[in-house]
Amino acid sequence: MKASSHSPLRSRLGGHILVDQLIAQGVKHVFCVPGESYLAVLDGLHDASIQVTVCRQEGGAAMMADAHGKLTGEPGICMVTRGPGASNALAGVHIAMQDSTPMILFVGQIERGMREREAFQEMDYRAVFGTQAKWVTEIDQVERIPEIISRAFHVATSGRPGPVVIALPEDMLVEYAEVADAPHYEVIDSAPTVPQMEALVQQLANAKKPVAILGGTRWDQTAVDQFAEFADRYQLPVAVQFRRQMLCSVDHPCFIGDVGLGSNPEMMQYIKEADLVLLVGGRMSEIASQSYTLFDIPVPAQTLVHVYPDAGELNRVYRASLAINVSPASFAQAVAALRPQQAAPWAADLERIRASYLAWTDPQKITHPGSLQMGQVMSYLRTSLPDDAIMCNGAGNYATWLHRFHQFKRFGTQLAPTSGSMGYGLPAAVGAKRIDPSKTVVCFAGDGCFMMHGQEFATAVQYQLPIIVILIDNGMYGTIRMHQERHYPARLSATSLQNPDFAAYAEAFGGHGERVETTEQFASAFERAVASQKPSILHCLIDPETISPSTTLEKIRQQALAAQA
């Protein structure tokens, strides 16, 4: 309702009401690209306690918000303008959906009276984002802002977390209303029942070859520690799903590796032969399930205990022997009280798979073509980075070096999209450093991946965020080239790249840049990057043949040609 001489109202614009709701919900950071469609909100942020990060592209802003959600468990907040701005942000929303990350995207919208005329940058946000978000809505009445914002926070964080998209009609934001602020949201959770825990104890007692696989969200450091203690008492082998390596320390004597791309074959064989699988927090989607081949569908051959915070996921793909509808944190708290009744008959298996994991992840054993040896780079980073360093990456074969050889030891140290979205690493690093400037933040990126959101390096410079980008340059879209050689050997098509001087790129933005061509150059270059206290890019040139730690393009090509002969 508009202010007028006939209806005196307290001077609080819709845009200001919205900002007040964010403050009431505990929001401390907003990532945005400004737009005229939500100027009233920007005006409300002018005097607010919320830290605003102005980004260079909406996709980068949404990915920073996703990184915030991953690190804090609280919804990351992103604001973008209508039409093209919202379209750019869709990549970040897709990541948040597949990664189960709490996030709220606010999108400026055309005036309400212009709908369905294809007005300037008009979009139907319910239709566009409907399959990519938990909830999509539009605020038509200024008086309903507190109600809808409160609901958005509950939807984004409860059950399986995910993104919410809220459209903000421009004229609604400049109306006045007198409304009360909504109270702070509370995440909905429950606890396992006594019969469920008794059944779990019995299944563990009957098992001869069990394994736990951890994934998903709604974990925190306490939950990770509690589950680690439970695993230690039961001598339970623990694996983690794709890009969820921070859920169990590599130092834990029960940790056996990650279930994803390029996983240790011996570990994968053990999981296939397991008689009990305790799946906690994860969906066991395509990558982790090895394209849905690891377990039979719908009924796995193994006894499956599936712990998940959303009843809609339980028994959707895999029929569980025991389905427990709680968050990983609630489950970890419950199993903290369990004590085994007998010695683990699988202790020898655990010792063998653990030894296999340690050998598989030893970078010193890896050599490949070229003067810059990535195994030595990873070995240096193992000894040089603090345990709480946050490692960020997008998608590409280069990420295999990080996933296989880096030692994740603490919760909150990995930012990577399970959706395999390129360009994620740099904005995630910017978002992480913005949230906690005290942390060491490293971005791994391929040459193709970096250029997807390379402009966000300017954001790092603007806010004086000394992230370190390790940019692996092989002059190609490496993952696609690998598959191309496997399926269409010696028929190179649309995968080559001509790259800039990325060290000069960094310096042009006001950061620190160095070119690294040999193994011997890396350590000193990294140390200078740290000492510079500037956002830095180490432009690392590797031999194009080095497509993964275990093979080369030439080997793949020759194998494919031989198979065709």
Phi, psi of 556 (to 5 degrees): -60, -45
> 400 near 428, Cβ under 8 Å?
no
What domain count does the chain have?
3
pLDDT at 150: 98
* pLDDT digits (tens), the chain, 565 positions: 333 334 334 558 999 999 999 999 999 999 999 999 999 999 999 999 999 999 999 999 999 999 999 999 999 999 999 999 999 999 999 999 999 999 999 999 988 887 888 777 778 999 999 999 999 999 999 999 999 999 999 999 999 999 999 999 999 999 999 999 999 999 999 999 999 999 999 999 999 999 999 999 999 999 999 999 999 999 999 999 999 999 999 999 999 999 999 899 999 999 999 999 999 999 999 999 999 999 999 999 999 999 999 999 999 999 999 999 999 999 999 999 999 988 899 999 999 999 999 999 999 989 999 999 999 999 999 999 999 999 999 999 999 999 999 999 999 999 999 998 999 999 999 999 999 999 999 999 999 999 999 999 999 999 999 999 999 999 999 999 999 999 999 999 999 999 999 999 999 999 999 999 999 999 999 999 999 999 999 999 999 999 999 999 999 999 999 999 8
The beta-strand segments (E) located in 386-507 are 390-393, 414-415, 441-446, 468-473
Give the integer Cα–Cα distance in Å for 97 and 217.
Answer: 12
Which residue has tokens 């009990």? 276
Domain for residue 186, yes or no?
no
Q: Do 238 and 301 sit in the same domain of this protein?
A: yes
**169-204 in b/e burial notation, b at 16+ Cβ within 10 A?**
bbbbbbbbbebeebeebebeeeebeeebbebbeebb
In this structure, what are the phi and psi dihedrals at residue 36, rounded to the nearest 5 degrees? -65, -15
Residue 169 lies in a domain: yes
| pLDDT for residue 341 | 85
Q: Which residue among 317, 339, 359 closes a domain?
A: 359
Give the Å distances, CA to CA, from 163 to 62, 132, 443: 10, 8, 24
Domain shared by 275 and 380, yes or no: no
84 and 144 inside one domain? yes
Which pLDDT score is estimated for 10? 57
| 246 located within any domain | yes
Q: Is residue 467 part of a domain?
A: yes
Domain presence at residue 4 = no
Same-domain status, 558 and 414? yes
| Domain CATH number, residue 120 | 3.40.50.970
Identify the CATH number of the domain in which residue 211 sits: 3.40.50.1220
Q: Does one domain contain both 289 and 161?
A: no
Do residues 329 and 430 share a domain? no
Specify whether 404 is located in the same domain as 392.
yes
Same domain, 62 and 162: yes
- Based on the domain organization, do 311 and 366 belong to the same domain? no
Structural domain harbouring 410: 362-564
Determine, yes or no, domain membership for 182: no
User: Do 396 and 543 share a domain, yes or no?
Assistant: yes
Last residue of a domain, one of 338, 359, 380: 359
**Is 7 contained in some domain?**
no
Say if residue 278 is in the same domain as residue 227. yes
Determine, yes or no, domain membership for 207: yes
| Same domain for 242 and 199 | yes
Please tell me the predicted confidence (pLDDT) of residue 482. 93
pLDDT for 222 equals: 97
Q: Of 359, 390, 414, which residue sits at a domain end? A: 359
The reply to whether the predicted model has a pTM over 0.85 is yes
